[in-house]
Every structure is written in C-alpha cells, then in structure tokens.
C-alpha cells in the first residue's frame, strides 16, 4: 500500500485520538507528522516489518499515552524529546533498528508503566540515576548492546515488577541498594556482569524469577540466603564458573525455598548437595551438573521431590544415587560420575536415561523394559556384564538411541527390533557379543548408526546405512546393490547454517574410525560425514564404483580384509593418469570428486576414501592420490589380515 495516498486522509483527522495500523503490511517511510497530531493518544504500528521511519525530535503529540512500534523497521535514535511525553504510559519499541543510547529523559515519564526497547541496537550505559518512573512495572531492554553497571535504581523503583536486561554486554557489577522494591522477575542472563551477587538481592522478598546465567559472577553464596526468597520459583545461576556456594552450617537443612520449581546451578562449582532442596515438593527441574559434588544423594535428600521432571547430575563425583522415587521423572542424566553397583531402574515415566561413564556393574535388569516411553538409553562405558535382555529391542517404540558400548556384555543380540520404528542409533561397540546381526534391524527405517565394532559378530554383510563393523568376522562380497541402496549417503549437502551433527540435544553419536592405521574417535559425526569402517573383517570383492555417488561418504575403511586394488610398486594405489598426486585444491571432477587415500601405508591393505572435513581434522595426508580407474576390474584375492600401523 502506498503510504502517501493513505495518509493524505490524515489532513482531515487532526481530531483523531487513536490510529491503529498494526499488521497492515505497510511499506515505505512513515510520515513523522502523525506523531504531532494534536489530539493523538494512541498509535499502533507494530507488525509492519517493512515500514521505516524515525521518531520526531520535537513537537510530539502531547497527549500521547500509548506507542506501539514493535516489529517495524524504525531506525535512528530514541530522541531525548520522548521525555516530553508526560502522559506516556506504554511504549513498546521491540525488534526495530534503533541505535544510540537510552535517553536519560526517560526518567521524566512519570506515568509510564511499561517501557520495552528490547532487541534493538542500543549502546551505552543505563542512566545512573532515575527518580521518576514511579508507576513503571515493566522494563525490558534485553537484546541490545548495553554496557556498564546494573544500577541500583532498578531495585528501588517503587512499582517495578519485572526487569529484563538479558543478552546485553553489561560488564559492571550489580550495585547494592537499600529500600528494595517488590520486584518479582529479574533477568540479567547472558551479560558479562562481574563481582559478587550483592546481599541486597536477597532482600527482594517478592522475587519469583531470578536469572543470572552466563555472566562472570564470583564470590561465595551461602545456600541459606536463598531461604529469604520464600516466593522464588525459578532460580538460574548456571555458567558462572567463578561462583561458589557454601552451607553456613549443618543446620541449613532447616532452611527451605518452598516455592522453588526450577533450579539450575550447572557449571558453578557446587561442591555439596544443597540441603535446602530436601523438601522442595514443587521442584520440577534440577540441574547440578558440572559441579564437584562427591558421595551420595541419599533417600532423605531426594524423596521429597514429588514433582521432579528432569534431573541433571552429570559431571560430578557421585558414587550413589540411592533412590529414584520420582513418579513424574522424564529426564535423568547421571553421566560421568562414579556411580557403583547395579543399575537402579527409574520409574516408567522416564524418557531419557543416561548413565554412561560410571562404574556400574552386574547385569542389565530385564525390568528396564518397563520403561515403555524411553527414548534415550545410554549405559556406555560401564562394567556391565551378562547378556542383553531380549526385550531391549522392543520394549519402547519411542526408542531413539540405544548405547551400550564399552561394557562386557556377551551372548547374541536378540532379533526383536522389528517395531523399533524410531531407532536412530544402535551402538554396541566394544563388548563381547557374538552371532549374527539381528535381521529385524532392516525394519528400522530411520536407523543411521549401527556400531557393532570390536565384538565377535560373525555374519554376511548386512544392508545398513552407517557401519562400524570393524574387528568382527564378516565374510562375503561387498554387493553393489548395498551401496546403491544407501540413498542417505547420496546428496547430503553441506548445511547452510554451519555444520550439523548427528544426534540431538541429549546425545551426540560418536564413532571410532580407523584412519591412517590408527583408531580415531570422532566425538561428533557431521551429518554430511558418513563413515563405513569395514576393517578387520574378511570381505572379498571389488570396490563398487557406485560409491562415487555418495557425496556425503567421507571415509570408507576396508582395512584388514581380502580386497585388492591395483597397486603400484610402492604399495600405494596407482595414481590416476590425469590427476596430480598432491593437493586437495587441485581437485577437479575426476573420480566423482573423491580422493582415495591409502591409509596405513606400511600394512599395504588399508584403503580409505576420504575428503574434506576429516582431512582437515587430521591433517592432509601427503600420500593422497586420486583414482580414476573406475572401469578397471579389481581382482579378487584374499589376503591374510595384518596388523595396522
């Protein structure tokens, strides 16, 4: 719509008191005369993302009470003249392109109840002193580039309920203050605030929400201080790595924060379990991960948490979590502790159960199959023994990740995966499993990672997507049709928004790939990276040329098998006639953009195809050659397995 046309009408409207053009898809430049209409009390322009304009430097409509400009493309400064709007109650200027600093004249807005300047490009300091604003309830300046201190007036303005200064560059301390107000919500996360949390914060007795996450706060906080905040429901102090906590005495058990629902003290040096949590019956989410908590969490500590939904205790030094009494629990993350003994099966509501890297022993109890909503099960890097319960393939159709790697599990893998329709990753690497791979895995349509390396599996080569089948006893030919069916490997393009990894929020797949004669652990598997590790098996056959279609296949390791490639005298694969033997940069469209690297030079049998990311991460091997012999018949010949370098 043309603004000029529509606003010519406004000549008629000097008596107009309200103008609502919100969400009207306006384009072009907004005429600032409108701000000067003598009787205008309310102006609604929000949600016109292509509407540009400036705020006037003078002669505002003096009765203006409400100004809604959010999600427009207004730019320039917020002028000092805004302080002349003595009747202004609500100003929402969020998600525009304003620059400059916050005018000190906002202190003149004695009637203002809501000031929202969030998500602009404002810089500079907050005004040092503000005495007006006595009706202000909401101040939201988040998502700008403000610097400096957190001034004390924020905590004393008499009507203020909510302040949000998150996602700025505030780097001063939080000023202490007297005469605290009735603030309920304080959001200061994601700044660079340093110094201590002033004791005066604990006088804000009406606080329900306090977020100081990801700052540079230091000093020691006594746990019992929180008990002053009897209304506190949400407390987030995580990721302040210089902060620490103490109990003032053994008696802090008598303190409590009865309203607390969520507590996040991750990555802030918690070295003992906060006893004030003992009777937190409203607690739904507790994160004490990345701390230094030793010993046990006793029955007494945890049994009061009737409503707990997620519990994050990873990366501590816990030896025992005595009880899992939480009937609502969904996420239980105990990874990277020192938990001993047999697995304590959590309640049936559990969706995520992560206990990898502990000292669990004994068998996997079949009762774990009562977790019919389970999505993530990780018991890797423990000392579990015995057989895998037969129900583990079909107890939950929701199961996404099953990770049992690096235990001492033995026996067969039961063929019960036919209904595992969500299974994306099955990792059984480094156990003592034997027998064939379960055929029902073929029905797992979203399966991306199968890792059964370092077992005693013997089978003919199955048709699966990602494979680490190394160090087993697979035999047979590598059939061309298998590779053709690996559609997923074909046109997976580099992602537009940076590298993407296989794995979700709770779990990142990792895989060990034999490269250059060494096992290299890839902690994160790029989605574009597809690894096939067929090493130390007894395959015969030719390398199917269709492999060249797999643009996302990065490593194929066929080490220790019976395959040959025609080799030149030095044991390297023969360089293609037209290709240079050196630089990645020279790469043209020869053999499907593939580099064929001879990995494990001395052993003479390790062959890999490798490009891009992996080469960057291990350094580009000099022996990289390209192969164009796509039509060459490769001889089938058996070789005695030899040790890798």
Ligand X SMILES: *[C@@H]1O[C@H](CO)[C@@H](O)[C@H](O)[C@H]1NC(C)=O
Q: For binding to ligand X (CB under 6 A), which residues are involved?
A: 49-50, 52, 58-59, 73, 75, 83, 104-105, 107-108, 182, 192, 194, 205-206, 213-214, 216, 218, 238-239, 242, 264, 266-267, 285, 287, 310, 312, 361, 381-383, 385, 391, 394-395, 406, 416, 418-419, 430, 439-440, 442-443
Nearer to ligand X, 460 or 632 (CB): 460
322, 299 Cβ separation under 8 angstroms: yes
The span from the CA of 607 to the CA of 517, in Å, is 10
Do residues 327 and 284 lie in contact, with contact meaning Cβ atoms separated by under 8 Å? no
CB of 28 to ligand X, least distance (A): 10
By C-beta, is 459 or 624 nearer to ligand X? Answer: 459
Closest contact distance (angstroms) between CB of 626 and ligand X is: 33
Q: Which residues contact 511 (CB under 8 A, 6 or more apart)?
A: 449, 451, 466, 468, 521, 522, 525, 531, 533
SS3 480: helix
How does strand 608-609 pair with strand 596-597?
antiparallel
Q: Are 224 and 186 in contact (CB under 8 A)?
A: no
Tally of residues, the chain: 645
The CA distances from residue 148 to 123, 125, 171, in Å, are 10, 5, 5
195: left (phi over 0), alpha (psi -120 to 50) or beta: left
Rounded least distance, CB 436 to ligand X, Å: 12
Nearest approach in angstroms of CB 4 to ligand X is: 18
Of 10 and 442, CB closest to ligand X: 442
**Least distance CB 591 / ligand X (angstroms):** 34
Least distance in angstroms from the C-beta of 640 to ligand X: 26
- Least distance CB 616 / ligand X (angstroms): 24
Of 102 and 565, CB closest to ligand X: 102
Please, which residue, 26 or 596, has the CB nearer to ligand X?
26
Q: How far is the CB of 196 from ligand X (least distance, A)?
A: 10
Residues 6+ apart with CB under 8 A from 626: 575, 576, 579, 580, 581, 587, 590, 591, 594, 595, 596
> Residue 272 phi/psi, 5° resolution?
-150, 155
Beta carbon of residue 72, minimum distance to ligand X (angstroms, whole number): 9
CB of 214 to ligand X, least distance (A): 4
State which residue, 412 or 630, has the beta carbon closest to ligand X: 412
How far is the CA of 404 from the CAs of 209, 314, 336, 392, 401, in angstroms? 39, 18, 15, 11, 10
- As measured in angstroms, the least distance from the Cβ of 335 to ligand X is 12
SS (H, E, C) 252-286: HHHCCCCCCCEEECCCCCCCCCCHHHCCCCCCCEE
Of 197 and 605, which CB lies nearer to ligand X in the complex structure? 197
Please choose, from the candidates 534, 542, 540, the residue with its C-alpha nearest in 3D space to the C-alpha of residue 559: 534
List the alpha helices (DSSP H) in 434-516.
Answer: 480-484
Nearer to ligand X, 398 or 587 (CB): 398
CB of 189 to ligand X, least distance (A): 8
Identify any residues that bridge with 402 across adjacent strands, giving them in sequence order.
377, 426
* Closer by beta carbon to ligand X, 247 or else 385: 385
Considering only CA atoms, which of 241, 308, 248 is closest in space to residue 272?
248
Q: Which is nearer to ligand X, 183 or 611 (CB)?
A: 183
Please identify, using beta-carbon distances, which residue of 5 and 129 lies nearer to ligand X.
129
Give whichever of 347 and 612 is closer to ligand X, judged by the CB atom.
347
Distance in Å, CB of 216 to ligand X, minimum? 4
**Nearest Cα to Cα of residue 606 among 567, 553, 579:** 567
Q: How far is the CB of 410 from ligand X (least distance, A)?
A: 11
Nearest residue (CB) to ligand X, 144 versus 264: 264
- The pair of three-digit structure tokens given for residue 88, joined into one six-digit string: 């202004």
Coil, strand or helix: which one is 504? Answer: coil
CB-nearer residue toward ligand X: 152 or 215: 215
Contact of 203 with 182, CB cutoff 8 Å = no
Intra-chain end-to-end CA distance of the chain, in Å: 71
Distance CA 512, CA 533 (A): 9
Contact 195, 218 (CB under 8 A): yes
Residue 597, both tokens: 């690297």
Which residue, 358 or 552, has its beta carbon nearer to ligand X?
A: 358
Bridge partners (DSSP) of residue 377 are 353, 402
Least distance (Å) from ligand X to the CB of residue 462? 11
Q: Which of 366, 384, 427, 420 is nearest to 402 (CA)?
A: 427
Tokens linked to 58: 């003078």
The tokens of 251 are what? 């008696």
């Amino acid at each position: 719509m043309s603004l000029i046309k529509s606003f010519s009408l406004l000549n008629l409207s000097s008596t107009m008191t309200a103008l609502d053009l919100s969400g009207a898809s306006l384009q072009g430049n907004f005429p600032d005369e409108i701000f000067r209409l003598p009787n205008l009390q309310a102006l609604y322009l929000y949600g016109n993302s292509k509407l540009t304009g400036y705020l006037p430097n003078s002669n505002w409509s003096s009765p203006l009470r409400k100004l809604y400009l959010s999600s427009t493309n207004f730019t320039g400064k917020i002028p000092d003249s805004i302080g002349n709007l003595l009747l202004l109650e609500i100003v929402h200027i969020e998600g525009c392109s304003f620059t400059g600093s916050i005018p000190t004249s906002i202190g003149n807005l004695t009637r203002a109840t809501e000031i929202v300047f969030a998500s602009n490009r404002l810089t500079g300091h907050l005004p040092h002193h503000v005495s007006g604003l006595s009706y202000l309830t909401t101040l939201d300046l988040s998502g700008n580039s403000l610097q400096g201190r957190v001034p004390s007036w924020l905590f004393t303005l008499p009507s203020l309920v909510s302040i949000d200064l998150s996602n700025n560059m505030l780097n001063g301390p939080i000023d202490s203050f007297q005469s605290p107000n009735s603030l309920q919500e304080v959001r200061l996360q994601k700044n660079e605030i340093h110094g201590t949390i002033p004791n005066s914060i604990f006088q804000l007795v009406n606080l329900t929400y306090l977020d100081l996450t990801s700052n540079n706060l230091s000093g020691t906080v006594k746990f019992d201080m929180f008990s002053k905040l009897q209304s506190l429901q949400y407390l987030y102090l995580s990721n302040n790595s210089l902060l620490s906590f103490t109990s003032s005495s053994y008696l802090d058990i008598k303190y409590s924060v009865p309203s607390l629902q969520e507590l996040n003290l991750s990555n802030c040096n918690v070295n003992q379990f906060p006893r004030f949590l003992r009777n937190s019956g409203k607690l739904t989410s507790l994160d004490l991960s990345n701390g230094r908590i030793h010993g046990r969490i006793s029955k007494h500590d945890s049994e009061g948490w009737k409503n707990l939904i997620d519990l994050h205790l990873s990366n501590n030094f816990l030896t025992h979590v005595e009880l899992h009494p939480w009937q609502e629990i969904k996420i239980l993350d105990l990874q990277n502790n020192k938990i001993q003994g047999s697995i304590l099966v959590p309640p049936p509501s559990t969706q995520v159960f992560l206990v990898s890297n502990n000292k669990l022993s004994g068998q996997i109890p079949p009762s774990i199959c009562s977790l019919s909503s389970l999505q993530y099960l990780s018991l890797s890097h423990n000392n579990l023994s015995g057989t895998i319960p037969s129900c583990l393939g079909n107890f939950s159709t929701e199961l996404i990740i099953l990770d049992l790697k690096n235990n001492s599990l033995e026996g067969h893998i039961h063929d019960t995966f036919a209904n595992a329709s969500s299974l994306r990753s099955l990792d059984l690497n480094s156990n003592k499993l034997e027998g064939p791979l379960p055929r029902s895995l073929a029905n797992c349509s979203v399966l991306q990672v199968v890792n059964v390396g370092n077992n005693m599996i013997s089978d003919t080569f199955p048709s699966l997507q990602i494979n680490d089948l190394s160090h087993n006893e697979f035999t047979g030919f590598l059939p061309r049709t298998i590779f053709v069916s690996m559609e997923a490997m074909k046109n997976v393009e580099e992602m537009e928004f940076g590298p993407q990894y296989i794995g979700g929020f709770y779990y990142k797949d990792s895989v060990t790939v034999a490269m250059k004669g060494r096992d290299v652990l890839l902690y994160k598997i790029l989605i574009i990276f597809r690894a096939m590790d067929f090493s130390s098996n007894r395959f015969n056959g030719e390398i199917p040329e269709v492999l060249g279609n797999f643009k996302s296949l990065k490593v194929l390791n066929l080490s220790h098998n019976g395959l040959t490639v025609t080799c030149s005298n030095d044991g390297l694969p023969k360089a293609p006639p037209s290709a240079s033997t050196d630089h990645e940069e020279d790469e043209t469209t020869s053999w499907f953009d593939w580099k064929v690297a001879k990995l494990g030079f001395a052993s003479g049998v390790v062959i890999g195809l490798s490009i891009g990311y992996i080469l960057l991460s291990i350094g580009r091997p000099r022996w990289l050659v390209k192969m164009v012999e796509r039509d060459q018949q490769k001889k089938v010949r058996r070789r005695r397995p030899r040790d890798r370098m």
